[in-house]
Structure formats: structure tokens, C-alpha cells
């Protein structure tokens, strides 16, 4: 009688394992089929929320005015350690691709302009710095932490969030000179 129960438990165990394996295979194949894949992960197909923010000189900047350009939005703060390491790399990207229609906006979240201006000068930021004083833009873009990089193509569509290879992606999005 003990042997009969062992066989039944073995059969049930095998059936349960097969069911879980089937579920995993179905959900993973559905996930891969439902998203367009590329070298940088799934391509995001959502329109970038428009915004109007002031820069450090008090001039208003509207994202919609930069259609026909590739725009990198860099959400950051002055206290973020990782944000402090980015300006040299971003300055280089701007120098390399700026003439091809590439723009970088550093969007500082909820900090006073005077503090941000000092930070930008100290770290040699040579791209436009915008002030998101009430974090409304960061909220619209669902920024969960800093730094957050969001790349927007010429049509105003978000291409990626936290892009893995900006250099390679920019080569594809911007014409060769």
C-alpha cells in the first residue's frame, strides 16, 4: 500500500512541475512576442509628455519646440553622487552629436536655482539646465530615482529609459556627417 501512495505522489509531483513549466514558457514567449526587441531592450512607444520649465537664466523651455531633434532628458539633483559623475560624459556626447540635432536637458528636481547654478558651474555642465521646482515634470515622466535618463526621438516619442548604450543608439538616431 505504501508503494501505491509513493507512485501517486510522484505522478502528482510530475504533473505539477509540468504545469509550472508550461505556464513559464507561455508567459515568457508572450512577453517576448509582445515587445519589439533591439540591442537596448524593448523599444518604448509612448509620446513624451510635453513640459515648460525655466532654465538657469529664467528663460522658458518647452519640449514640443524641440521636435525634429533627438532630446536626452537627464533628471538629477545636486546631492546625487552618481549625477556628479555624468557631466563629462554628457558634455562629450553633446560635442559629438550636437551639430546633428541632439540636445541635452539636465532637469534638476526641487532645488533652488542659485544652488543648481553653482553646481552646474562647479561641474562644468555645458548643456542646458532646467529647474523642475515642483517635480511636476519628474512626476509626468514617472522618475523613481536619480539620475534618470530618458531619450526622446525626433517624433517626440520616448525611445528608452535608462538607456544602456547611448552612443550606439545616437548613432542610429542621428544622421552620419
pLDDT per position as a tens digit, 70-102? 999 999 999 999 999 999 999 999 999 999 999
Indicate if the pLDDT at residue 119 is higher than 60. yes
3-state secondary structure of 70: strand
Indicate if the pLDDT at residue 175 is higher than 90. no
Angle at 43 between CA 129 and CA 176, to 5 degrees: 65
pLDDT bin (cut points 50, 70, 90) of residue 31 is very low
pTM over 0.95: no
CA distance readout (Å), 37 to 31, 41, 99, 151, 171: 10, 6, 29, 16, 18
Amino acid at each position: 500500500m505504501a508503494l501505491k501512495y509513493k507512485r501517486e505522489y510522484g505522478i502528482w509531483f510530475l504533473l505539477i512541475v509540468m504545469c509550472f513549466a508550461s505556464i513559464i514558457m507561455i508567459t515568457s514567449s508572450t512577453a517576448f512576442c509582445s515587445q519589439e526587441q533591439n540591442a537596448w531592450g524593448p523599444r518604448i512607444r509612448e509620446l513624451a509628455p510635453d513640459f515648460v520649465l525655466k532654465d538657469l537664466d529664467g528663460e522658458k523651455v518647452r519640449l514640443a519646440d524641440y521636435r525634429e531633434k533627438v532630446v536626452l532628458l537627464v533628471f538629477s539633483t545636486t546631492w546625487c553622487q552618481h549625477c556628479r559623475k555624468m557631466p563629462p560624459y554628457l558634455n562629450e556626447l553633446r560635442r559629438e552629436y550636437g551639430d546633428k540635432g541632439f540636445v541635452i536637458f539636465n532637469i534638476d528636481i526641487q532645488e533652488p536655482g542659485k544652488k543648481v547654478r553653482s553646481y552646474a558651474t562647479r561641474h562644468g555642465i555645458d548643456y542646458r539646465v532646467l529647474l523642475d521646482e515642483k517635480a511636476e515634470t519628474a512626476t509626468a515622466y514617472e522618475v523613481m530615482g536619480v539620475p534618470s535618463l530618458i531619450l526622446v526621438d525626433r517624433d517626440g516619442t520616448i525611445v528608452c529609459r535608462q538607456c544602456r548604450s547611448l552612443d550606439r543608439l545616437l548613432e542610429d538616431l542621428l544622421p552620419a556627417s
